Structure 1
Amino acid sequence: MASHVESSAWKLDERVLVSDGVVASTVRGRGSPVILVHGTPASSWLWRHVVPLLAREHTVYVWDLLGFGDSRVAPGARPGIAQQARALAELVDHWRLDAPALVGHDIGGGIVTRAHLVEGVRASRLALLDAAVLGPWNTPFTEHQQRHADVYRTMPADIFGDLIAARLRSATHLPMPQDVLEAYLAPWAGTDGQQRWLDQVAAVSFEDTRDVVGRLGEIDVPTLVAWGEHDDWLPPSTADRLAEHIPGAARATVTSAGHFLAEDNPRGTADALLRFLAATEPTT
């Protein structure tokens, strides 16, 4: 595993007002644009070791999803995939980008495909990493929380914290160091964090990717489907099925990695992306 980086060293220095809230974001590097979209229950901190490697050759745009990390959801809005895809489309306009490469992990995969196919975001390339696109993709734990939301919302915060700590430990193949675990847990700490966690759980639905799945055959830009070799949340066989739905999609496996492949093996994750991005420039 890469050397530890204190969470305090990872700062998103920009705040962008979008329709459904306020997004925390940052931009690193120089070169062709790449937008990284994390999934649940992570934040942009997942990419902290990958960004410097990509930024040597690309301008890397990173953001916290609405309701995650330092981003906030507007009153009455839901942090679902449809809302996140709309926020991504607005960010692309804000950054004045034309056809950036879009990289999505977990529900971030559903977000970038929806942004491209439904919101009309032009992309030079798509990279889908351990992506929640083909349903059903909710884990049994997520489904249990959705069925028994009142129990989880009224659970003592310290007990709830123990539950999600155990859940997060299973996201990696290699043991997660305590300081790293605490950084992932920090946005969900206390009663407020508990409610934020459950708000995003309630908003996560395959319904937001169902229409995307029906249109995967329309994707006409180079696409990479990459998966952690030991993903226990979404089995690697899902990657093969997803690639079969997308014309000409390439496949890559990141070794010694679980679902949080960028945490387990950031160098392998970055190398897979750099090889994909360095291929002959596509037309859009």
Structure 2
Amino acid sequence: MNGLGLHLHEDLLDGEPIRWLEHGEGAHVVLVHGIPTSPRLWRHVMPLVSGRSLALEMAGYGSSIPDGEGRDLGLSAQADRLLRWLDLVGAESPVLVGHDLGGGVAQIAAARAPGRFSGIVLTNAVCYDSWPIPSVKAMQRAAPVLRYLPETALYPSLVQLIHRGHDDRARALESIGVHWQHYVTHGAARSLMRQVSSLRVEDTIAVADQLPSLGLPARVVWGEADQFQKVEYGRRLADDLGTELQPIPGGKHFTPEDHPEVIAAAINELIGTGPAREGDPGGR
């Protein structure tokens, strides 16, 4: 447990370790992070959610970086693990929330089993052909030599990426400390090499035509100034999911850290503890 009241849990899923953070009680909410983060991406969101929040740690990320060796870390495989994990933790009809890569995982999981979820919230998520972003493509090309770099060599790049993705400088500095520690602890170069080498845009393209027929209440919240996942993709997602885009003026990529109250409000709307936005068709 930490100062925010978040509890770290660990269990075995099909004989392999799996970890997640929990907070609160009540209606289930499942949150999925992206790269280069971990479940702690949601540390300021979860205390504001009126339900039992469970933030999954994807295989090969965060404290689970060592467990990623030899495993498929692609979004399709991560979505399969998420669906099996729901049974392990007894998450019944949760609201599914995803950011960045976790948003892609959420789309795939919802497309494969829409009846397992009561709603979906996506914020600055990868989707369609919006990814990998240029810096990740560069790392993919450099993957064969990343393993030979000293661990500190990637620190400036990660710092720059996180600063570019935040509109709140204080939160950016906090974020660097939170997320870099896992990389430096477990080997930054090797960890990033495994993560980026597994990313395939085909995973989100494969489910794109299923999004309009999910039939799930949806919220799409987007930082309008995101340089990594452009707001035009957010508008397309919102249209396909039958809702209206909720923009965050001046917001950048890491919305769960910079604007946790906005993300939590969207989640609470779908679990019935907050008022629906006027004129929003996404609560169908």
How high is the TM-score relative to the length of structure 2? 0.87
Equivalent residue number for residue 38 of structure 1:
33
1:180-199 equivalences under 5 Å are 180-189=175-184, 192-199=187-194
* Corresponding residue of 1:59: 52
Percent identity over the alignment is: 26
Report the CA distance between 1:20 and its aligned residue: 8.3
CA distance in 2, matches of 1:50, 1:191: 26
Mapped to 2, the partners of 1:177 and 1:114 lie a distance apart of 29
Determine the structure 2 residue equivalent to 1:85: 79
Q: Check 1:276–1:53 CA distance in 2 against 1; reply closer, same or farther (3 A cut).
A: same
SS at match of 1:127: strand
Task: Give the conservation status (yes or no) of the 8 Å contact 2:95–2:270.
Answer: no
More helix by share: 2
Q: Which runs of 5+ in 1 are unaligned?
A: 1-6
Which residue number corresponds to residue 227 of structure 2?
Answer: 232
Q: CA RMSD in A?
A: 2.5
> Is structure 2 residue 138 aligned with structure 1 residue 144?
yes
Say if 2:30 is the partner of 1:22: no
Would the aligned equivalents of 1:157 and 1:191 in 2 still touch at CA under 8 Å? no
Question: Which structure 2 residue ranges, 5 or more long, are not aligned?
Answer: 277-281
Following the alignment from structure 1 to structure 2, what is the Cα–Cα distance between the partners of residues 49 and 109?
A: 18
Contact 1:33 1:59 in 2 (8 A): yes
**Do 1:19 and 1:87's aligned partners in 2 also have CA atoms closer than 8 Å?**
no
> CA–CA distance in 2 between the matches of 1:143 and 1:20?
33
Contact 1:81/1:110, CA 8 A, preserved across alignment: yes
Quote the residue 1:167 is aligned against: 161
Distance 1:113 1:206 in 2: 13
Aligned: 1:48 with 2:50: no
Match of 1:221 among 216, 222, 242: 216
- 2:125 is matched with which residue: 118, 128, 131? 131
Cα separation, 2, equivalents of 1:86 and 1:160: 30
| CA distance in 2 between partners of 1:201 and 1:8 (Å) | 32
Equivalent positions of 1:65-76 (< 5 A) are 65-72=58-65, 73=67, 75-76=69-70
Residues 196-215 of structure 1: CA distance to partner in whole angstroms, max 9, x if unpaired?
Answer: 12211111111111211121
Q: 1:9 to 1:230 in 2, by over 3 A?
A: same
Is this contact kept in 1: 2:12–2:18, CA < 8 A?
A: yes
Per-residue CA deviations over 1:34-79 (Å, capped at 9, x if unaligned) read 111111111111111111110xx21111121111112253542121
